[in-house]
Amino acid sequence: MEPANDDDHRPNGSDHNHLPKRPKLSTSSLITDSQIREEFGHHQKGIARINNGSFGSCPASIIAAQKRWQLRFLKQPDDFFLNHLRKCILHSRTIIKDVINAEHVEEVSLVDNATTAAAIVLQHVGWAFAEGRFQKGDAVVMLHCAFQAVKKSIEAYVTRAGGSVIVVHLPFPLRSEREIVAEFRKALAKGKANGKKVRLAIIDHITSMPCVVIPVRDLVKICREEGVDQVFVDAAHAIGNVHVDVKEIGADFYVSNLHKWFFCPPSVAFLYCRKSPVSPDLHHPVVSHEYGNGLAIESAWIGTRDYSSQLVIPEVLEFINRFEGGIEGIRMRNHNAVIEMGQMLTNAWGTKLGCPPDMSPSMTMVGLPANLKILSNKDALNLRNRLRDQFGVEVPIHYQEIKELQDGDACVTGYARISHQNKRNCAESSLIGCY
């Protein structure tokens, strides 16, 4: 990996002294470039994979650790289930509790992914509408670029129970956080019109497509000032990608996948639920014999399945701490590298990044040349397929309809979302060579 940079590019930056203490490593103990290449040597050769944001990158040593956990269960499943599984999952939850600065380990549950977490939160909200605790027509506010599974969960649990949905339409490309804040305030005002209430605000910490870091602390604070009942931060991309301090963010619910930027094998996520009177009403959508013992315990056993992706978290933290600066050092170097990659591409193509560098995490949106004529979502998908099939480049392509050009903006309707996680290849050079 590139040398550490002391500049802090955290949007809504904050102190990060809460991170778990790790042993001070001598220079000789730090992971080397050759060891990094070995850890990710299982990736398909000849592919410039610039899409860590979708599925993550699991190191070989963690894959080996996962196999050891799987075998430990299969050798004597009765003993493992009765005497070891719960305390091992508790150990993993305790590690995450420290990493995200939660107050209590009971606030941290391990679930399959962010989609499962959204179902837990929105099921809870849907029950409140169905049971009359929320009034018909009260609103849930979400960003227009919310993940499709979240939108479907709102449809499944909230709108069918009588709730309404207010959508925050964010502009793109973006020039500042102020544009986000202004549109969010408009949506809250709409949700409160005619005496109605906003019962839940769903805020992405990092939107997926297009990729932008959202000023979550500011938006959560606005929600508190405006009387929003509960705030759910969908931070699927966040942990290992931006700084995460759940106390500082202040949301009621916060979820992040651990298999995207935290090096876990798929699939595992944590769901933070701030301790409150509503905590006992949260339940896993898969009901097993632990129902009623608290969400964290319910989530730790949803029937016979492979729990190894949850159990391997201690080994993952050990892997992360082999890098200079640990998780903070990794994310800062990734951020710096992806911005450098993005600016090299925009200089070559005569375009711009989709948002300022300090609003990009370890991913950034790079404007594509207008002569590619990305004029629809179908065009974007066709280009993505062509890059993979003909050039060996794996990168998501985003179509952005232009409604109004700002001064100085070019007519760019296509963006490549590039990711950086470790130094595995010269993917940016490969992308330039495609055009």
Q: How far apart are CA 31 and CA 263, in angstroms?
A: 15
Q: Are 199 and 134 in contact (CB under 8 A)?
A: yes
Q: Are 386 and 373 in contact (CB under 8 A)?
A: no
Task: From first to last of the 435 residues of the chain, give the pLDDT tens digit.
Answer: 333 343 443 444 344 445 455 545 555 589 999 999 999 999 999 999 999 989 999 999 999 999 999 999 999 999 999 999 999 999 999 999 999 999 999 999 999 999 999 999 999 999 999 999 999 999 999 999 998 999 999 999 999 999 999 999 999 999 999 999 999 999 999 999 888 999 999 999 999 999 999 999 999 999 999 999 999 999 999 999 999 999 999 999 999 999 999 999 999 999 999 999 988 999 999 999 999 999 999 999 999 999 999 999 999 999 999 999 999 999 999 999 999 999 999 999 999 999 999 999 999 999 999 999 999 999 999 999 999 999 999 999 999 987 665 555 568 999 999 999 975 444 444 565 566
pLDDT at 195: 87
Phi, psi of 214 (to 5 degrees): -95, 140
Q: How far apart are CA 59 and CA 26, in angstroms?
A: 22
Phi, psi of 353 (to 5 degrees): -70, 155
Pairing of strands 414-419, 397-399: antiparallel
Provide the H-helix boundaries in 158-259: 177-191, 216-225, 246-249
